[in-house]
Amino acid sequence: MIRTAPSCLARAQDLLRPELRRWIDRLSPEVRRVVAYHFGFTDAYGRATADDGGKALRPLLVFLSAEAAGGSARRAVPGAVAVELVHNFSLLHDDVMDHDEQRRHRPTAWTVFGVAPTIAAGDALANLAHEVLLAEPTPERIEADAALTTATARMIAGQCDDLAFQSRPEVSIDDCLRMMSDKTGALFSCAASLGAIQVGGREDQGQALRRFGLHLGLAFQAADDILGIWGEPDVTGKPAANDLRERKKTLPVVAALASKTPVGWTLRQLLSNGHLNVQAVTRAAHLVDEAGGREWTLKEAERHARLARQALELTPVNEDARRQLIEVAEFVTARDF
Amino acid sequence: MIRTAPSCLARAQDLLRPELRRWIDRLSPEVRRVVAYHFGFTDAYGRATADDGGKALRPLLVFLSAEAAGGSARRAVPGAVAVELVHNFSLLHDDVMDHDEQRRHRPTAWTVFGVAPTIAAGDALANLAHEVLLAEPTPERIEADAALTTATARMIAGQCDDLAFQSRPEVSIDDCLRMMSDKTGALFSCAASLGAIQVGGREDQGQALRRFGLHLGLAFQAADDILGIWGEPDVTGKPAANDLRERKKTLPVVAALASKTPVGWTLRQLLSNGHLNVQAVTRAAHLVDEAGGREWTLKEAERHARLARQALELTPVNEDARRQLIEVAEFVTARDF
């Protein structure tokens, strides 16, 4: 999905992976086979693969936030594992809910194992996140668990709104941004401050990092929404124009509909039809672009990446960590559109 | 489902309901409409009903365990709410996984709102349970949250095994009992000790109560398995012989298959057929009975109810609470077979 990943991503993966695998190995066999496949550790037949288990962007935020608050990334490993588990619980369930058949260039778990084991596997990961944090119930870890629980609640509410928007004719840009703040922003915001919580960072640092994470999440989601319509399948690992086929009211679509241009009206009529065939999807992607939805969303992604950077300007944090966090913010908006 | 409920159930409902509703009211609107319907607080159109939201058996165990350990039931309300949320998260997801269309005499949530919002609603309840306990992170509540998380992990693993058993030709009685211990026993065991944890009960009390809860859960599930095949739909609130239609390897079926009787072999052949029509389901119920599966399961339910009572005999607990716990154990095996 990403061409030039910051070098710190590799370090995050190295810190994360042994602990993540250790916890996943503790799951019961029937749950584990779905989870191991989903993470890419095994193929559909349960055979080990050379896959790395995803890019670990959220764990990276956890590690950098620990360092930003003057602590060590190593102390933030439980939080990083927990965030990655919550993120992957949401991927497992979202793929069922959205009928997505491809992720990371592979068939999604539910297409391989069925809906029921995939629901249970997602449930198990959501629960495992708490087990990881509560394994040593220090005050910092309990605070981290409470923050993760709050973020998870918002993530679920956002996913529910996202689903509801599909059949709602009028969705405003504000509705859409609020949904994105919940669905994506909350977990990013949590990840970007969870390391600081675990190393006992100052409250002003936590606040700045949460703000950074929220805007980063919005920038990420806006960029993702562009890829969800115009991304190349061999880059995104998902089918072309997937979001349009699922009638998702993503930011480019909502912005195009809100444009009040004749093209916007044509788009509205097209989307009001029951089923969208391949030609209709291609035409819709074209209309969203023509009505300015793509351009507006790209600008919105850049705006939030800028707000993310600004969030770190006034609060004293470790300079090296700040530089890397800003590199991450540049990277999420510089994805291959 | 139950003819003569112990009077303490009504008190548990009174203690539970205001707090349960207060927390459910905090859910986002799209999540809440599914949850409120599922609990029976509203009908499919969102209109308030006079329904009581279920029998609150697990919360009752939480309250009685607080009193058994010499504390007040009121202090155990957060744990009781959390257990009820976890239980209902599992009902929402299990109904999707098992394709169950009726529960508590009503259409299940997924048949009314669709699979996707129901998955999200279940996710929200599982998460809300942690929010409830972590709202005031006292050492007792954190211990309670850790215990609930461990029990939830076992519950999910048990549900996964239950699903896997459907397509596995050989399931031993031991496999089945182990699955039941996870799927049902773990949360009962947790509920029956969670109140004691919250009021700071002694470890020997906690241990006795956990053991009580485990055997009570096994007795409950064995009784439920009998109702799942031979229960009257207007009593159970579910379609007749539902478990057989879903090819569940419940205890009566596994015991019948393990009986090594000619009837058991006939049953095995019948169940090996792809689809079971209405006649085949009726015949299978008959064969399970004839092979002794019903009788054996009833005895097993009674045996575990006895073991539950015995678990409370040697450890000093509050006498009034003990009496009521034993009343509950009698009640779960005296359901209307």
Encoded tokens for B81: 């709410």
Residue B93's closest CA among B183, B22, B220? Answer: B183
Task: Determine whether the interchain pair B156/A127 forms a contact, defined as Cβ–Cβ distance below 8 Å.
Answer: yes
Which residues in A lie closer than 8 A to residue B152 (C-beta atoms)? Answer: 127
Mean pLDDT computed over B119-125? 98
Q: List the single best residue of A32, A97, A118, A130 to mutate versus B (max B Cβ within 10 A).
A: A130
Which residues in A lie closer than 8 A to residue B116 (C-beta atoms)? Answer: 96-98, 163
DSSP per-residue codes, B198-266: HTT--HHHHHHHHHHHHHHHHHHHHHHHHHHHH--HHHHSS-TTHHHHTT---HHHHHHHTT-SHHHHH
Task: Determine whether the interchain pair B28/A123 forms a contact, defined as Cβ–Cβ distance below 8 Å.
Answer: no
Which residues in B lie closer than 8 A to residue A246 (C-beta atoms)? Answer: none
Which residues in A lie closer than 8 A to residue B153 (C-beta atoms)? Answer: 124, 127-128, 131
Q: List the single best residue of A23, A25, A30, A96 to mutate versus B (max B Cβ within 10 A).
A: A30
Q: Enumerate chain A positions whose Cβ falls within 8 A of a Cβ in B.
A: 27-28, 30-31, 89, 93, 96-98, 115-117, 119-124, 126-128, 130-131, 134, 137, 142-143, 145-146, 149-150, 152-153, 156-157, 159-161, 163-164, 182
CA distances from B265 to B242, B262, B281 (A): 22, 5, 16
pLDDT at B35: 98
Other C-beta atoms lying within 10 Å of the C-beta of residue A106: 18
Q: Is pLDDT of B34 > 70?
A: yes
User: Chain B residue with minimal CA distance to A92?
Assistant: B119
ipTM rounded to 2 decimals: 0.95
Task: Determine whether the interchain pair A134/B117 forms a contact, defined as Cβ–Cβ distance below 8 Å.
Answer: no
Q: What CATH number does residue B214 fall under? A: 1.10.600.10
What is the pLDDT confidence band of residue A273, given thresholds at 50, 70 and 90? confident
pLDDT in tens, A29-58: 999 999 999 999 999 999 998 876 678 999
Which residue type is seen at A46? Answer: G
Count of pairs with CB atoms under 8 A, one residue in A, one in B: 124
CA-CA distance, A317 to A94, in Å (whole number)?
A: 35
DSSP per-residue codes, A107-133: E-HHHHH-HHHHHHHHHHHHHHHHHHH
Calculate the average pLDDT of chain B. Answer: 94
What is the pLDDT confidence band of residue A208, given thresholds at 50, 70 and 90? very high
Compute the C-alpha angle A82/A83/A84, nearest 5°: 90
From first CA to last CA, the distance across chain B in angstroms is 10
Give the one of A93, A116, A131 whose C-beta lies nearest to B163's C-beta: A116
pLDDT at B3: 44
Number of domains observed in the structure of chain A? 1
3-state secondary structure B57-111: HHHHHHHHHHHHCCCCHHHHHHHHHHHHHHHHHHHHHHHHHCCCCEECCEECHHH
Give the one of B127, B143, B160 whose C-beta lies nearest to A156's C-beta: B127
Task: Determine whether the interchain pair A116/B97 forms a contact, defined as Cβ–Cβ distance below 8 Å.
Answer: yes
The residue with greater pLDDT, B65 or A6, is B65
The region of weakest confidence among A130-139, B21-30, B235-244 is B235-244
Task: Determine whether the interchain pair A146/B156 forms a contact, defined as Cβ–Cβ distance below 8 Å.
Answer: no
pTM, 2 dp? 0.95
Residue A70's closest CA among A225, A195, A215, A246? Answer: A195
Q: Look up the domain containing A144 and give its range.
A: 5-334
Which residues in A lie closer than 8 A to residue B86 (C-beta atoms)? Answer: none
Task: Please name the residue that has the structure tokens 């269309």.
Answer: B101
pLDDT in tens, B253-297: 999 999 989 999 999 999 987 778 899 999 999 999 999 999 999
Give the one of B96, B124, B142 whose C-beta lies nearest to A156's C-beta: B124
Q: Is pLDDT of A267 > 60?
A: yes
Task: Determine whether the interchain pair A142/B146 forms a contact, defined as Cβ–Cβ distance below 8 Å.
Answer: no
